[in-house]
Amino acid sequence: MSINESKFELIRNHVHKKITNNSQRRLSLLDVGCRDCKLKKYIGDVVDYKGVDLFQNSEGTVDFVLNVEDGLPIADKTYDFVVALDLVEHLNNVQESLHELLRVSRRHLIIMLPNMAYAPLRKEFLIKGTFSDLTDKYDLTYGSAHKGVDRHRWLTVIPQTDNYIKEFAVNNNLHLDIVWFTGSQKRVFFETISKLLNLSPSWWATASLYVLTKP
């Protein structure tokens, strides 16, 4: 599986676990930062899916084209699941935006944040002084308005993001589950060796998945 396919399979599995306890009605999901709405292909058969993004995609499948930092035109507790994969690092006001996502969630808020301290990225930055595969996210590029709008605002690393989301959970009375994500089956061996060496997830995890649940 590719990194993206693994990510979407992981979300599908978590959604399925929650659905088994809510069989009386079909649940709903809001995918914030949906881009090409690929997540719908994985879970559209089990939930009513809606997507939010800053730009409309080429297929015209984004339901709400807007900036989440300006607020969502959605009533409180509308969606059973609110999912934000690789979105939060693009935002200027993280705390206010997380509260907005939580507001429209009836029960579950699922967030994924990349770990930029992953070992191969450390190696690349040490050798090249830049992240060559992420030039549209971190590089200072003149004359590219689209890239400037969609760039990463934060260099996210696991110790900081884990602590941040833990504090957010405590302050909002939420149950928190954390899954450190390796990105693909090819990296499982590296993860296994890293754990045997007692290395921090900062070295082997490509992202953290945070599953926040209201009481």
**What is the DSSP pairing of strand 79-85 with strand 27-32?**
parallel
Query: Bigger pLDDT: 199 or 22?
Result: 199
Torsion angle defined by CA atoms of residues 53, 117, 164 and 112, in that order, rounded to the nearest 10 degrees: 30
Residue tagged 């060796």 (tokens): 193
- Confidence class of residue 21 from pLDDT cuts 50, 70 and 90? low
Q: What is the Cα–Cα distance from 151 to 92, expressed in whole angstroms? A: 11
pLDDT band at 192 (very low <50, low <70, confident <90, very high): confident
Task: Say what percent of the chain tops pLDDT 70.
Answer: 91
Q: Measured between alpha carbons, how far is 43 from 185 in angstroms, rounded to an integer?
A: 21
**Token pair recorded at residue 18:** 């929650």
Which tokens belong to 142? 């003149």
Q: What is the DSSP letter of 148?
A: H
Sign of the Cα torsion 163, 165, 171, 176 reads negative
d(CA 126, CA 109): 35
The answer to whether the CB of 207 falls within 8 A of the CB of 103 is no
How is residue 210 written in tokens? Answer: 């945070």
Q: Which residue, chain included where needed, has tokens 């390796």?
A: 182
Residue partners of 131: CB distance under 8 A and separation at least 6: 116, 121, 124, 125, 137, 138
Cα–Cα dist 130/7, whole Å? 25
Contact status, residue 64 vs residue 92, Cβ threshold 8 Å:
no
The number of angstroms, rounded, from the C-alpha of 67 to the middle of its chain's C-alpha atoms is 16
pLDDT of 98: 98
Return the CATH architecture of domain 3-213: 3-Layer(aba) Sandwich (3.40)
16-30, 141-155, 184-198: which has the minimum mean pLDDT?
141-155
Ranked by mean pLDDT, the top range of 73-82, 120-129, 177-186, 195-204 is 73-82
Whole-structure pTM value: 0.91
Q: Residue 81: pLDDT above 80?
A: yes
User: How far is CA 1 from each of CA 7, 48, 115, 118, rounded to the nearest angstrom?
Assistant: 10, 25, 20, 19
